[in-house]
A and B are shown apart, each in its own frame.
Chain A
């Protein structure tokens, strides 16, 4: 663990402070980041963390096997509450993924240089989150072995998917999202893979990174096309990321169920996604920068900016909550109004109030610069928001379903231990993948850091 670099405390200083501590050269940046992968040895901490996460992955495997053998009846779902943890977690994970794309694409278009040092692992986070999310739609099927029926392929039955169903939109949106994120991430990695290939001393490294680098040699012509393509991808990923959570929100908004059938959902879901996403980036960035001594690259100013984004999106989400109740009341629709009241005072009221505290009240602390710059508080805050956003999805899915039109069919839902096993399992999967990522790939974009060096530290790039 390296000594904490002097971090400015007062506001103006932070605002002026560079996104990379001075004194770095092309070479030192390259070596510092590259060495984490190439030379640094697997610490005890890494092993401990990885094995813990992996044991959760084993739990996931076990639970899924049991699920596929027995059926979704092992979960708490029932009639009327046909969807439970599976969909809640699906939306939650997808939401988390959004920050990565946002940072890498939108901030790139907005020319926010501070994204440089966080976009790489933010994108990785996106991929892994979407991977976790992607498990659920398959798991929650009554007959998962027919999951492929959701894809349009010519078949002897001559039937096709029903493209009017929001679930079909999900299939396309999520798979597109995953593909594009993967491309974006890999293209971003390409020059760094070349760097690793050239720095590599171990034979295995040489071979693997050699293959992955595809023979990249930093030709000016290549760089020229490369940047065009990268920019175009960013331009494409931006509307994509907006559309994905919009489509996810359609799963509910298209439904007829009071509490789902709301036009505010798309923007409100997207904001929520970014909100939770940035929370997760903080949750990851804060320990990482400490563990791998990257405080010089992921500076206080980064954390400060991310906190601000959280505050902003948090307010949008809050607006969503308010509008839901306004429409419930203003529509003069007894069902809508009942759902609103049922959320406030019904059997699931504790969940609702908890989510209000986590998502609406707690984040208001971020108005204070002192809080934004207190790493510990910020970390806790990010966890709180993650919990809050999970609760939000739970409230939307469950409280709308459990008491809909006919009082005769009102019921309640509660996750069984299998619901929890699988949820925790996907968390394990997510963390395990991250652990592998930070060990085998540069968690910060090296070539972009070099650019940053050449921009900030003028011409002293060479040694």
Chain B
């Protein structure tokens, strides 16, 4: 059973107001559901917590990227100016480090920014052109004015009938089955 891929991706409950979604999410979690996610047209406060998301790694990645960029930037200049091709420029010493600061700084920023963005995308698994949720026409409203809660079929407590009942008990606009073609 666990080996066979479920025919449907999950059940999708549509709400009108962000607060309803947050409440529903909290409910579902206390009801023991784990494999679920909320879908909203903008970042709804408290939703992630309600779904039990813990801290993300993005800041750490950014920090590492920044440090790497900075040291890389300085070492490049130091190496080029003192080891690879040392030349007497205007009587300045080969390692005139104060003049290497600006580039070091810029490289720090560049490294950090790139890793922040790419890190975020990577963790989010983007780009992902296809996703089962897109099979549900009404899901298009998730980027307009509707708020969705999806309990995925992978959830151990998932049961087509019961879960649907449970979701309807949360007072959504509608509950839909999301197919997994």
Contacts and interface: CB of A to CB of B under 8 A. Distances in A.
Interface of A: 25-27, 30, 152, 158-164, 168-169, 172-173, 176, 179-180, 183-184, 187, 191, 194-195, 197-199, 210-211, 214-229, 232-233, 236-237, 239-240, 243, 247, 250, 447-448, 450-451, 454, 459, 461-463
A223 B142 CA distance: 13
Contacts of B66: 236
A200 to B, nearest CB: 10
A236 B116 contact: yes
Contact of A198 (B80, B90, B140): B140
B127 A215 contact: yes
A223 B43 contact: yes
A208 to B, nearest CB: 13
B142 A221 contact: no
A126 to B, nearest CB: 14
Contacts of B8: none
Given A162-B89, A180-B109, A225 B124 contact: yes
A158 B84 contact: yes
B19 A236 contact: no
Nearest to A164: B99
Interface stretch (B26-34, B130-138, B161-169): B130-138
A459 B141 CA distance: 18
B144 A187 contact: no
Contacts of A195: 41, 143-144
Complex A-B, nearest 9 residue pairs according to Cβ-Cβ distance, in ascending order: A214-B127, A26-B145, A229-B120, A160-B80, A215-B128, A198-B140, A220-B38, A462-B16, A223-B43
Contact of A26 (B41, B99, B109): B41
Interface string B108-140: 011011101101110110111111011000011
Given A236-B109, A236-B116, A243-B106, 13 more contacts: A30-B41, A164-B92, A176-B109, A191-B143, A195-B143, A215-B127, A219-B39, A220-B38, A225-B58, A226-B124, A233-B117, A447-B42, A450-B145
B75 to A, nearest CB: 12
Nearest to A244: B106
Given A215-B131, A221-B124, A236-B116, A228 B58 contact: yes
A169 B40 contact: no
Interface in B36-86: 37-44, 47-48, 51, 53, 56, 58-59, 62, 66, 73, 76-77, 80-81, 84-85
Contacts of A158: 84-85
A215 B85 contact: no
B113 A224 contact: no
A183 B65 CA distance: 15
Interface residues of B, number: 67
A462 to B, nearest CB: 4
26 contacts: A25-B145, A30-B41, A30-B145, A164-B89, A173-B102, A173-B106, A176-B106, A179-B110, A180-B113, A187-B120, A191-B42, A194-B143, A198-B140, A215-B127, A215-B128, A215-B131, A217-B131, A218-B40, A220-B51, A221-B124, A226-B43, A227-B43, A228-B59, A229-B58, A232-B58, A236-B62
Chain B interface main SS type: helix
A239 B102 CA distance: 12
A198 B124 contact: no
A20 to B, nearest CB: 14
Interface string B94-106: 0010011011011
Contacts of A459: 17, 19
Contact of A172 (B42, B90, B107, B113): B107
A225 B60 CA distance: 12
B80 A217 contact: no
Given A158-B84, A225-B58, A461-B18, A243 B126 contact: no
Contacts of A454: 18, 42
Nearest to A198: B140
B126 A214 contact: yes
B73 to A, nearest CB: 8
A159 B131 CA distance: 50
Nearest to B149: A220
A163 B62 contact: no
Nearest to A237: B113
A163 B144 contact: no
Contact of A451 (B42, B76, B107, B113): B42
A119 to B, nearest CB: 15
A218 B84 contact: no
A463 B51 contact: no
A107 B66 CA distance: 23
B148 to A, nearest CB: 8
A459 B16 CA distance: 10
